[in-house]
Amino acid sequence: MRRPTDAEALQQVLSTALGSPEPVGFLPQLGAGQGAFSPLDPAVLERPTLVGGAALYNPAAPTPTVSTVDELVRRAKALDVPQILVPHVRRTDDPSALRAAGFVPVAAGAECVVRLTGEVDELLRARVGGARQRALRRCHEALSRDLTWERIPLSELGGAPRARDAFVELHRRRAERLGQGHDPYNTKALDALADGALGDRTQLLVRRRGDSVVQAVLTATSYNGRGLYHLTQAVDPDDPVGVADLHAAALYGIYLDARRSGLHWVHLGPGERHGKRDLGADLFVPLDHWLRADNLTAPKEAEAGPELSRFAADPVTTVPVPGPARSRHQPRFDTIDLSSNTNPFLGTASQYPHLDTAELADTYLSTIAKLPGHEGAGALTADHLLFSSGSVDGVMLLLAALASPGEAVCVTPPTFPLYAHFARLLRLPLLEVPLRGEDLSELDTERILAGDPRVTILCDPNNPVGTRLDPAQVRALVTGARGLVVIDEAYVEFSEKPSYAGLVAEHDNLIVLRTLSKAWGLASARCGIALAQPGIIDALRRVQVPFGFTDASQSAVRERLTNARRALASVRHIRAERDRMAQTLAEHPAVQRVFPSEANFLLVRLHKHERVMEELHNAGITVADVGFLIPGTCRISIGNRRANEAVLAALSAAV
């Protein structure tokens, strides 16, 4: 309902509800989340207020233009109304016209949207977890057996007076139960909605138990025909099913109907994120009420974004984030998008991926914050995170964004070869400072600091060794380095030692790379993660090609994080099998040494390296020959029990 004509229609409905020729009333009457105004001067609640924008049924209001704001101020003056309210304005919109006219923002929560990107049960499982999805489905199915739905186009409401009366009565009882002094969902308002511009797109759903209506829901199709607004809902508080179950079951049914009708989203209205997320919402757009009243002080204008990191390479400081990604926080679900030159006739696959991944970032951060060894990760926000096409892509991004020709990149061999590979491709000088110690787990910190590299890349747990670096040396390097320190934690979930993710908020020169390819089992989804301070994330975003993180990958990641139990159980199983294999291999006559490992692989030094590699090849077994990094060694991934036993048998054949 972002069109001005829709907002005007809702203003007329509000006027009718208030019994006024103009949408003028007191804030407690306006159905605009008046609880948001409670921290303000109580006088605000007691003054007549002119409403501009869509109110009562709580869609986001179109952002007023300068001329619209001027007209509101003129009308308020002519009506001698001391206050003006523009409710539910998206924080992602440009409020400059409101701010210039003396309006002040009041936080109003977020509008919540369920994007129908797949079959309903599949998407709910991905967003709320399997247990909650099954509970919603069972509740819906049980109520469908016991209760009956009646769907009435609002344009035909005159022929269904009992349904209209039930809608009004249930809303009156709801207002009474919530202690609201005024219920704007009265008969005249409903009739005005039916007779107005929205009548043909709106329908009333009533759920009956016998002859009694126990639930009334109002929905409206969006003007672009792609989605559905859930406008309001009231239930009988005395029904034995219960308010929460009736509400949730109705929404589940609405999702099913919307999906069958080819719709792409359901708008749940404004609300608290946790509760709406539990109902399947996956898009949350922050809202503000904008109020013009006496004795209100406008807050300091928010900065446009985080200050770009001091480590950004010179070319990066002169370019913006690429076009599409600049508008990643601008929701487009309820607009007609003719900006992308895509084919409109071949379904959702012809559309570009969603760029606003803030909600998915929050899901990832809240998931890892619960894992052992991730203290401090809960303090990070979506602004600290960038999704990439695998963590290897993250390495290329950060070298391109944060290092300039002539600035050295330090690697610590033996380590992941692509670090040096990308540095050479970008013509960056390479400083190699080998790891030390019997287990190749000690940094030569003094030599690294003396080399003063622009970027130092550490792999921890190390690939291909499997050991963890000395944490005291890592911290000394982070605090002592003038350049950036990058810690690749691709295998950290297999380790019992802490992650460095929690330190990102404390150090502006620290970047932690993560992946969902290993422990989380999503190698095909190509999802890497860079954790850093927002100024670094902004620099990386200026280099990143938009649309690399596909909708299919986003969906797979969300499902795996939401239903994490299986993945975490597999990590425990891999650890146990790793330890069993380490012990067995250490006693094998073909093996000279097994290195300690806190990853999902083992580095093994062989007595007869070439013979063993030939025998493994002949047995149809592929392991990583890393003899070019560490003489006489191979890296063996931990497979299932059958695969691991096959490796042991092949080794025995090589003795």
Torsion angle defined by CA atoms of residues 193, 196, 202 and 203, in that order, rounded to the nearest 10 degrees: 60
Mean pLDDT by 10 residues, the chain (655 residues): 81 87 82 68 87 77 88 95 92 92 91 93 93 94 90 89 90 81 82 90 92 92 92 89 90 96 93 91 92 80 75 93 83 84 86 89 95 94 95 95 96 97 96 97 97 98 97 97 98 97 96 97 95 97 92 93 95 97 96 97 96 94 95 96 95 88
CA neighbor of 488 nearest in space, from 399, 551, 579, 581? 399
100: left (phi over 0), alpha (psi -120 to 50) or beta: alpha
Question: What are the two backbone dihedrals, phi and then psi, of residue 291, each rounded to the nearest 5 degrees?
Answer: -120, 135
User: If we measure between CA atoms, which residue out of 381, 310, 361 comes closest to residue 535?
Assistant: 310
Record the tokens describing residue 3, joined without a space.
Answer: 């069109």
Q: What pLDDT does 300 receive?
A: 66
- Write the secondary structure of 68-129 as one string of H (helix), E (strand) and C (coil): HHHHHHHHHHHHCCCEEEEEEEECCCCCHHHHHCCCEEEEEEEEEEEECCCCHHHHHHHHHC
Residue from 92, 108, 93 nearest 30 by CA = 108
Q: Would you give the distance in Å from CA 531 to the centre of its chain?
A: 15
> Is the Cβ–Cβ distance between 83 and 118 less than 8 Å?
no
The Cα–Cα gap between 257 and 612 comes to 61
How far apart CA 270 and CA 72 sit, in angstroms, is 24
Do the beta carbons of residue 504 and residue 284 sit within 8 Å? no
Residue 209: φ, ψ to 5°? -115, 100
How far apart CA 257 and CA 230 sit, in angstroms, is: 13
Q: What is the pLDDT of residue 34?
A: 57
- Sheet of 484-488, strand order: 385-388, 528-531, 510-515, 484-488, 455-459, 409-411, 430-432
Residue 38 has what pLDDT?
75
pLDDT score of 55: 74
Domains and CATH numbers, the chain: 4-292 (3.40.630.30), 353-563 (3.40.640.10), 567-654 (3.90.1150.10)
The answer to whether 537 and 383 are in contact (CB under 8 A) is yes
Sequence-distant (≥ 6) Cβ neighbours of residue 514 within 8 angstroms? 368, 391, 489, 490, 492, 501, 528, 529, 530, 531
For residues 502 and 61, what is the distance between their CA atoms, to the nearest angstrom? Answer: 39
- Residue 585 forms beta bridges with which residues? none
What kind and span of H or E run contains 385?
A: strand 385-388
Q: Which long-range contacts (CB under 8 A, 24 or more apart) does 136-142 make?
A: 136/248, 136/249, 136/252, 137/252, 139/245, 139/248, 139/249, 139/252, 140/249, 140/252, 140/253, 140/256
Of 103, 115, 33, 60, give the one whose Cα is nearest residue 287.
60
Closest CA to 147 of 234, 239, 255, 237: 239
Closest CA to 83 of 288, 289, 292: 292
**Interatomic CA distance for residues 204 and 239, integer angstroms:** 20
578 within 8 A of 600, measured Cβ to Cβ: yes
Pairwise CA distance, residues 482 & 546, whole Å: 31
Q: Nearest to residue 547, comparing CAs of 322, 316, 315?
A: 322
**Which pLDDT belongs to residue 37?**
80
Angle, CA 35 vertex, CA 33 and CA 40 arms, to 5°: 120
